[in-house]
Amino acid sequence: MGPPFLGLRKDTTQFMGTLTPSMPQAVPAQAPSSAPPVQRTIHTVQLVTAMLKASPHVSDLIFSPGRAPQIEVSGQLVELKYKGLECLTPQDTTFIAGEIMGKNETPARKLEQDGSADLSYGIPGVGRFRVNIFRQRGSCAIVMRVVPDKIPGFEELHLPEVLKEIVDLRNGRRCACHGADRFREIFNSRRHPRQDERGEGLPYPHH
Instruction: Please name every residue paired with 129 in a beta bridge, in sequence order, or none if there are none.
Output: 121, 146
**pLDDT category of residue 193 using cuts at 50, 70 and 90:** very low
**Can you say whether the dihedral through the CA atoms of 33, 38, 22, 63 is positive or negative?**
positive
Q: Please state which of the ranges 41-55, 95-109, 118-132, 155-169 shows the lowest mean pLDDT.
A: 155-169
Say what percent of the chain tops pLDDT 90.
43
pTM value > 0.75: no
Query: For position 61, what pLDDT does the model report?
Result: 97
Q: Please state which of the ranges 45-54, 119-128, 145-154 shows the lowest mean pLDDT.
A: 145-154
Asked whether residue 187 carries a pLDDT value surpassing 60, the answer given is no
**pLDDT category of residue 189 using cuts at 50, 70 and 90:** low
Q: Where are the domains of the chain?
A: 12-147, 150-207
10 Å CB burial of residue 186 (0-12, 13-18, 19+) is: buried
Tens digits of residue pLDDT in 79-89: 998 888 899 99
**72 C-beta neighbours (distance < 10 Å), count:** 19
Is residue 58 within 8 Å of 71, Cβ to Cβ? yes
14's enclosing H/E stretch is strand 12-15
Tens digits of residue pLDDT in 24-42: 555 555 545 555 556 678 8
Kindly report the CATH number that applies to the domain delimited by 12-147: 3.30.450.90
Cα–Cα dist 115/112, whole Å = 6
Asked whether residue 203 carries a pLDDT value surpassing 90, the answer given is no
30, 63, 129, 110 alpha-carbon torsion, rounded to 10°: -90
4's enclosing H/E stretch is none
